[in-house]
Amino acid sequence: MSGCEARDAKKLVRSPSGLRMVPEHRSARSPFGLDEPPWVPDKECPRCMQCDTKFDFITRKHHCRRCGKCFCDKCCSKKVPLPRMCFVDPVRQCAECALISQKETEFYDKQLKVLMNGATFFVTLGTSDKSELMVCRLSNNQRYLVLDGDSHYEIEIIQISTVQILTEGFTPGGGNTRAIGMILQYKVPGSEELTQMKFTASEDFSCNRKLSASWLAAMHKATKLLYESRDQ
């Protein structure tokens, strides 16, 4: 096994919430992941934290695997996939958390694949007036943004500071817009200064524009998940 494969190795662990397939090394975890929340202790929740029903021998309490709060069966009956916490099977979640997890499923089922497949952009580094045509994609382990052209860059996702999606076609009346590029700021390991990259979609073919727009939309969603993981 190579050093890279060893770092990306996973193990099956059992927690009170269920079975999880997690990286053996914490440094190898996905930057979009979330930690399991601590459960509200049973003695601190005599009533459902949603409908205020009192718990007794008949009305049992359940913990939401996403927020850790305590609910009755009626308010916490849905079992929904939760890939951000690496659960193998769908897990019990309250109605509010289940809705959030269901929306995230589209990212994991569709947009993550779009990011990994990549798209072509003209990339401008810093204040340079020269741009380079590069294929940009998310690495399979989700931890790096890989740029390939005459040059090669690997930007660690956790080092990304800000992402600004550039659009055109906006009108005050709310007309249609499309993503045409983005500005990315990140820290190079060992430096406190921010490096900036500008990505501009290639206009050569309509199919390239469509693919680039889809990739940028997926990157916008990925950025939201990244910020949420940091704020946890």
- Tens-digit pLDDT profile for residues 172-223: 555 567 888 999 999 988 888 899 999 998 776 565 778 899 999 999 999 9
Question: Which residue type, as a one-letter code, is found at position 82?
Answer: L
pLDDT of residue 167: 87
Mean pLDDT of 75-79: 94
- Tens-digit pLDDT profile for residues 5-61: 556 788 898 988 889 988 888 778 889 999 999 999 999 999 999 999 999 989 999
CB 97 within 8 A of CB 66: yes
Spatial separation of the C-alpha atoms in residues 141 and 43, rounded to whole Å: 40
pLDDT of residue 2: 39
Match domain 118-169+178-231 to its CATH number in 3.40.50.970, 3.90.420.10, 2.30.29.160, 3.40.50.720.
2.30.29.160
How far from chain centre, in Å, is Cα 42? Answer: 31
Please tell us whether the domain made up of 10-114 is placed in CATH 3.30.40.10: yes
pLDDT of residue 15: 85
pLDDT of residue 39: 94
pLDDT of residue 3: 43
CB 159 within 8 A of CB 187: yes
Domain parsing of the chain, residue ranges: 10-114, 118-169+178-231
**Where is pLDDT greater, at 168 or 155?**
155
Closest by CA to 23, choosing from 40, 36, 6, 44, is 6
- Tens-digit pLDDT profile for residues 128-166: 889 999 999 999 999 999 999 999 999 999 999 999 999
Q: Please identify which residue in the block is written with the tokens 């940091």.
A: 230
The answer to whether 10-114 and 118-169+178-231 have equal CATH topology is: no
Instruction: Identify the band that residue 170 occupies on the pLDDT scale cut at 50, 70 and 90.
Output: low
Work out the mean pLDDT of the chain and round it to a whole number: 88
pLDDT of residue 25: 82
